[in-house]
């Protein structure tokens, strides 16, 4: 599914003061109030990409990241951590049981996600992780952002382990390096085509030193033993490079350990 960014409405209406009996205190307070409103952090606005999603914690500063503590139990929330600030480091945290995203980085720069354990990202029945065929449930998601995902352990995700996408409608020159992560899918399943690591829509970066396993979709409508890939409309990939440029000026993937995936690597290059 492609989500398009809808810009915020910038049209303003002029305020007309109709009454001549406005207290003097109003004119003293109004400039102060306007100054406060114009300096509020942008995170208080609704994020265009993630509009309508419930969020356990939105972080714009490193102090807010550090205040989360070592564990984020996001049961009942769509997003565990929404990153709405640049130059942040999320390190060494255990994040689990959100429905759509474990960590979502929304149009920010130089964000590092490292040494985190992220699991049970997808649909739930009550407090129990019960993955379905719905196309959401990503452990780490960089959206039109730059940064690094390194040394993380992600598992039990519904759709994707580590995903980086540009906005197809407004592609930018973003680089994300995905290094030395352990990404483990659900194994052979009949309800969804998972992908372990995905770089999409013109993203750049290194995909190196990762261990990716257990992403395998079995189409129950296809007869015969083995489920040959050519017989299925959809397949799961260990590493998926989709509409990117492979190589030094795009995405370089090397020294990864890929095992027990339906398709180890799948490259759909950009034109």
CA distance 131 to 268: 27
Q: What is the pLDDT of residue 170?
A: 86
Span 126-146, pLDDT tens digits: 999 999 999 999 999 999 999
CA distance 20 to 215: 70
Q: What is the pLDDT of residue 227?
A: 52
Q: What is the pLDDT of residue 231?
A: 61
241 contacts 253 by C-beta, under 8 angstroms: yes
Positions of the chain with pLDDT lower than 50, given as ranges: 1-44, 46, 225
238 contacts 215 by C-beta, under 8 angstroms: yes
Q: What is the pLDDT of residue 35?
A: 40
Is this prediction's pTM over 0.85?
no
Which two three-digit tokens encode residue 87?
Answer: 């130059």
Q: What is the pLDDT of residue 39?
A: 33
Q: What is the pLDDT of residue 177?
A: 99
Give the three-state DSSP class for 211.
Answer: strand
Span 156-207, pLDDT tens digits: 999 999 999 999 988 899 999 999 999 999 999 999 999 999 999 999 999 9
Q: What is the pLDDT of residue 19?
A: 33
Give the three-state DSSP class for 195.
Answer: strand
177 contacts 152 by C-beta, under 8 angstroms: no
């Amino acid at each position: 599914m492609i989500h398009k960014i809808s810009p915020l409405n910038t049209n303003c209406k002029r305020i007309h003061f109709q009454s001549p009996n406005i207290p003097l205190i109003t004119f003293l307070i109004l400039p102060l109030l306007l100054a406060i409103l114009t300096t509020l952090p942008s995170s208080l606005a609704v994020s265009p990409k993630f509009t309508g999603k419930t969020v356990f914690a939105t972080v714009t500063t490193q102090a807010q990241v550090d205040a989360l503590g070592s564990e984020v139990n996001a049961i009942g929330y769509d997003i565990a951590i929404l990153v709405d600030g640049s130059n942040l480091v999320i390190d060494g945290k255990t994040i689990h049981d959100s429905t759509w995203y474990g960590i979502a980085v929304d149009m920010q720069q130089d964000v590092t996600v490292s040494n985190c354990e992220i699991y049970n990202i997808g649909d739930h029945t009550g407090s129990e992780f019960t993955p379905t065929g719905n196309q959401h449930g990503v452990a780490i998601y960089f959206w039109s952002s730059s940064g690094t995902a390194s040394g993380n352990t992600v598992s039990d995700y519904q759709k994707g382990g580590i995903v980086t996408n540009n906005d197809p409608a407004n592609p930018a020159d973003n680089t994300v390096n995905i290094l030395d992560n352990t990404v483990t899918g659900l194994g052979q399943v009949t309800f969804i085509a998972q992908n372990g690591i995905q770089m999409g829509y013109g993203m750049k970066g290194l995909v190196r030193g990762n261990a990716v396993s257990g992403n395998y979709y079995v189409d129950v409508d296809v007869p015969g033993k083995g489920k040959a890939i050519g017989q299925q409309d959809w397949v799961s990939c260990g590493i998926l490079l989709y509409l990117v440029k492979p190589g030094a000026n795009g995405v370089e993937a090397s020294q990864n350990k890929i095992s027990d995936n339906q398709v180890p690597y799948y490259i759909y290059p950009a034109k």
